[in-house]
Amino acid sequence: MSGNYSRIVLASRPRGAVTPDNFRMESVPVPELREGEVLVRNRYLSLDPYMRGRMSASKSYAASQALDETMIGATAGEVVDSRHPRFAPGDAVTGMLGWAEMGVADGAHLRKVDAASAPLSAYLGVLGMPGVTAWYGLNQIILPKPGDTVVVSAASGAVGGVVGQLARLNGCRAVGIAGGPEKCAYVVDELGFDACVDYKLGKVAEDLAVATPDGIDGLFENVGGEVFDAALARMNAFGRIALCGMISGYGGKPVPINNIGSVLVNRLSMRGFIITEHMEVWPQALEELADLVASGQLKYRETIAEGLAAAPEAFIGLLQGRNFGKQLVRMA
Amino acid sequence: MSGNYSRIVLASRPRGAVTPDNFRMESVPVPELREGEVLVRNRYLSLDPYMRGRMSASKSYAASQALDETMIGATAGEVVDSRHPRFAPGDAVTGMLGWAEMGVADGAHLRKVDAASAPLSAYLGVLGMPGVTAWYGLNQIILPKPGDTVVVSAASGAVGGVVGQLARLNGCRAVGIAGGPEKCAYVVDELGFDACVDYKLGKVAEDLAVATPDGIDGLFENVGGEVFDAALARMNAFGRIALCGMISGYGGKPVPINNIGSVLVNRLSMRGFIITEHMEVWPQALEELADLVASGQLKYRETIAEGLAAAPEAFIGLLQGRNFGKQLVRMA
């Protein structure tokens, strides 16, 4: 194997909002494989909010993305060449090969997936990190009981959609928060949530009160900021909060929270988590999720940008909530 | 038994800060005992921040204090008359008889204490609710490991002082936050904390950074507001926060929190609690605390106001941080 492939590197760190010139596309030679390595042609790149955190130099839970290096990202593709005994050309795999058309990984860092039982792209969404994230936050932190009201923000997204559907399967009232009538209709009509609050109407607190007449027992927070604050005020005694994302804060300045007193008044439990730190749950979570997808009980939607060059604009759109379901980039 | 006794009732709900005219002292007749009841002459009344919450009509974790009724409060005293088989005149007891010189309680709601092994007043502090509160938050939520840094606000108070001393006994670095040089000196010199930050110097964030060079692993929060916000920003990965009090918010308006993102970035666990909902831990906690007091390993201080009529001003002082250690009212 020789020749060149395209990749996108971090050209500069954003000051405030991410702009296209924070990225640079370039062509690099395909490297020689060393023992234990695998060459993969990426078919799908996953775009996720956590990437925004990595682009900053500030302290976060993970190391910053290095300048002039391939942007971090989860990928799904096919093995082209292998010097690892577990992989052969043609195998479908997922990995963290980044914003690139091809990539080389240690075989130990790749996961072989069954492209016959589900579309390859699903392994970056409902059957990948977003699905396991939803499963973990719900089952390990929120601990839903039948009759509970579970609220999830970014409800039409890759994580949120799974949270609400799993909550429903657990006998809970599932209430989503999403932006715009189209997303809210999708959350209720297609995903089967009991209700969805459109935060773009500008009266989240009032609308959330109507949608949660019995208060909130479990909150899966993907957004932070005003929406989170409004949900805090609706929590019932002994409610549980899984803190998974704070998109609102990624722009740079923190969003002040006024209702933190609810944690004391209502004796809440709140926990932040990063799903890659809980690898022990992945096998069980993926097995359950795959069964639910196969039986049609778990639905999902994807927004697909065509071609690696479209990744920066698609990522900026994701941060602005322009995607609908899981945001992917498809490569030829 | 006949005659009258003095009590203090809630005359009006505070608008903003508590004022003396929110209270009214009055004389009422000693009631006849019914079967199972006990008449107690109160020697000490405990004044605690939670009373501020009860004075408001707004939703809290407990019912509001009723107007024109005896102000709620924990008391320690002696049995004067009894129609309950477990109690006899002269017995030392604690209960919730309120801001009053005397009171009648169902014997089931009184706890007999050993006035020979510790001063009666200690059963309202280190060997009562404040002590158990400290024990629970530390041992059931913060789960201290040797080498951890544990920070506690209101460190010279009845709860905070116990938290830091127990943390030290667990091999932790104990850092207090308190108001003024005198309280900070007491926390370090008498209670043995490793350091104390004086929030009145107006640079809590900087001073806390100096006092916690390795960050914060466990935070016992008694205050809320700016001090809590500063501590949030210093939390280490997988830190634990026990949320016990939010004095700053009791004045009416919530204090906005800017660093809630730390819960996600550092994968923190935070839990609010009310110690009266965890009665199952009281026997073990009280046994351990009594042993530590008896062996001189656990120290405490009291601020004593003389006479029931002094209770309103003493309570207002408590809310303003004018007390030093456990705030009590002594009655003749």
CATH of the domain at B138: 3.40.50.720
Residues B116 and B140 in one domain: no
Work out the minimum CA distance from B241 to partner chain A, whole angstroms. Answer: 10
A68 and A150 inside one domain: no
pTM: 0.88
- H or E stretch including A100? none
Q: Which pLDDT tens digit goes with each residue over B2-14?
A: 699 999 999 999 9
Name B295's Cβ contacts closer than 8 Å, sequence gap at least 6: none
Do the Cβ atoms of A61 and B267 come within 8 Å?
yes
Give the count of Cβ contacts less than 8 A between chain A and B.
Answer: 93
Distance CA A321, CA A54 (A): 19
* A118 and A31 together in one domain: yes
| pLDDT for the residue numbered A260 | 93
- The rounded radius of gyration (Å) of the Cα atoms in chain B is 20
Closest residue in A to B224 (Cα–Cα): A261
Alpha helices, DSSP H only, in chain A? 50-55, 129-136, 158-169, 181-185, 204-211, 225-232, 247-250, 261-265, 282-294, 311-319
Q: Clarify whether residues B150 and B53 are in a common domain.
A: no
Q: Which residues of chain A have pLDDT under 70?
A: 1-2, 58-62, 247-252
Mean pLDDT of chain B: 94
Answer yes or no: is A295 within a domain: no
Chain B residues inside the 8 Å CB shell of A61: 237, 264-267
- Residue A222: list chain B partners with CB under 8 A: none
pLDDT of residue A49: 85
- Asked, for residue A294, whether it belongs to a domain, the answer is no
Do A105 and A205 belong to one domain?
no
Residues 6 or more apart whose CB falls under 8 angstroms from that of B203 comprise: none
Q: Is residue B16 part of a domain?
A: yes
The pLDDT score that the predictor gives to residue B245 is: 87
Mean pLDDT computed over B319-332: 90
pLDDT for B102 = 97
Give pLDDT, residue B57: 79
Residues B166 and B86 in one domain: no
Task: Give residue B64's pLDDT band: very low, low, confident or very high (50, 70, 90).
Answer: confident
Q: Which residues constitute the domain of residue B162?
A: 129-276
By Cβ distance, the residue of A259, A266, A270 closest to B254 is A259
From chain A, pick out residues whose CB is under 8 angstroms from the CB of B252: none
Contacts of residue A258 in chain B, CB cutoff 8 Å?
A: 254, 256-257
Q: pLDDT digit string (tens) for B234-256?
A: 999 999 999 998 865 555 577 88
Residue-wise pLDDT for B176-197, tens only, equals 999 999 999 999 999 999 999 9
Taking an 8 Å cut-off on Cβ atoms, the answer to whether A267 and B277 are in contact is yes
Binding-site residues on chain B for chain A (CB distance < 8 A): 59-61, 224, 228, 237, 243-246, 249, 254, 256-261, 263-274, 277
Asked whether the ipTM of the predicted complex exceeds the cut of 0.95, the reply is no
Is residue B240 in some structural domain?
yes
Are A121 and A134 contacting, i.e. CB atoms less than 8 angstroms apart? no
Q: How far apart are CA B48 and CA B65, in angstroms?
A: 14
Tell me: do A247 and A116 sit in the same domain. no
Give the gap in angstroms from C-alpha B331 to the nearest C-alpha of chain A.
32
Determine the pLDDT at residue A254.
Answer: 76
- CATH number at A49 reads 3.90.180.10
Q: Is B162 helix (H, G, I), strand (E, B) or coil?
A: helix
In a domain, B284, yes or no: no
- A290 Cβ contact partners less than 8 Å away, ≥ 6 residues apart: A117, A118, A127
pLDDT in the model for residue A67 = 95
B272 and B133 together in one domain: yes
Question: Is the same domain home to B259 and B216?
Answer: yes
User: Does some domain include residue B286?
Assistant: no
Residue B242 and residue B146 share a domain: yes
Q: What is the pLDDT of residue A1?
A: 54
Q: pLDDT tens digits for B257-304?
A: 999 999 999 999 999 999 989 999 999 999 999 999 999 999 999 999
**Do A173 and A195 share a domain, yes or no?**
yes
* Residue A283 belongs to a domain: no
B323 inside domain:
yes
Q: Same structural domain for residues A145 and A93?
A: no
* Residues of chain B with C-beta less than 8 angstroms from the C-beta of A259: 254
Contact predicate B163/B242, CB 8 Å? no
**Which pLDDT belongs to residue A25?**
98
What does the pLDDT average to over B145-151?
98
Task: Please state the domain count of chain B.
Answer: 2
